[in-house]
Amino acid sequence: MDDRERLTIDEVRDLAARVLTRHGLAPAHAEACADVMAMGERDGGGSHGLFRLLMAMNSIRSGKVALDAEPVVKDVAPGLARVDAGGAFAPLAFRRGLPMLAEKARACGVAALAVTDCCHFAALFPEVEAIARGGLVGFAFTPSHAWVAPAGGSRPLLGTNPIAFGWPRPGGDPFVFDFATSAAARGEIELHRREGRPTPPGWGVDSHGSPTTDAAAIMAGAMLPFGGHKGSALSLMVELIAGPLVGDMTSVDSLAFDDGAKGAPRGGELLLAIDPARLLGEAAPAHLARAEAIFEGVVSQGARLPSLRRYAARRRADREGVLIPRELLDEVRAMLD
């Protein structure tokens, strides 16, 4: 028996929004947060879908997030902007800052947006996809809680520290990838724990620093970066450019602020946007066409092009809805009581 329930994407979005508003989140914030949760379910990323409502609710219940702060967008320099989220969740702050980021990228060729003092529970792909759908190349970086040991270490120091990239494709969906610099997202390990499944080897170590496939032991110990020292170096880069560079928390700071609440990481985010048309002028269409030849070179040999599976899942979800574990739905619906 399949212990899952099928919901439409609109039903997922509505359920998340109702729970958030029921617990005091201002309507604009609830709508923005529910939208990114629905995007996670729609694109086949259950660990970043409705499941993330549990983390968001921990932040709300513990008072670790502002419920109605209005994001403040600041014009810093010709190619720089900031959004002060005021301690609120990140999705609304990004929405408010995106128009200025895009405007500055088109004027200067490249622009950066720092989103600061926010709680970040969501995936980064909606942000770089939004940048790319505007014809720009996008990057996004954010630290998280200190759950990950550096390569060769055994104690948590780094966050899962995702990196996301978006590339505009004329007449088609953008090329997008979004991955943690840890061997797996924290949500994936939590899903393994909830379902009693062992993790693949290499995802983490226990509290003694010994390799383990026990998800609960990893969560009590430390996650590991992907690719050894290479993933560890990338994670350190994210710590620097989305922490001290934007004037916000590191992953260690974030975990200390959380103080056991098991809420969303607190800190900042750095987004970059590059305008091919501004950089290349009249030659931009020809060079974007050359990029298409690279993508064709991937798929023509049977390799998987990142983002294609996401868009296939999206089309299927739009037609058929998505399957959500009943245990998770019961937990979420109970929040409406």
- Of the residues 29, 31, 41, 48, which is catalytic? 48
**Token output for 271:** 């987004």
Contact 158, 232 (CB under 8 A): yes
**Token output for 150:** 């550096």
251 annotated active-site: no
Nearest to 274 by CA among 93, 126, 155, 140: 140
Give the C-alpha separation, 246 to 186, whole Å: 24
CB contact set of 179 (below 8 Å; sequence gap of 6+): 162, 163, 164, 226
- Of the residues 188, 190, 239, 269, which is catalytic? 188
Would you say the C-alpha torsion 241, 131, 42, 289 has a positive or negative sign?
negative
- Of the residues 23, 47, 70, 103, which is catalytic? 47
State how far the alpha carbon of 25 is from the alpha carbons of 269, 297, 326, 332, in Å. Answer: 21, 47, 25, 16
47 annotated active-site: yes
23 annotated active-site: no
Contact 64, 119 (CB under 8 A): yes
Distance of CA 259 to the CA centre of its chain: 22
Nearest to 82 by CA among 268, 240, 239: 268
Contact 71, 86 (CB under 8 A): yes
Residue 173 sits at the vertex; the CA angle it makes with 234 and 306, to the nearest 5 degrees, is 40
Nearest to 223 by CA among 142, 133, 153: 153
Helix (H, G, I), strand (E, B) or coil at 112: strand
Residue with tokens 């914030």: 29
By annotation, the residues acting in catalysis are 47-48, 188
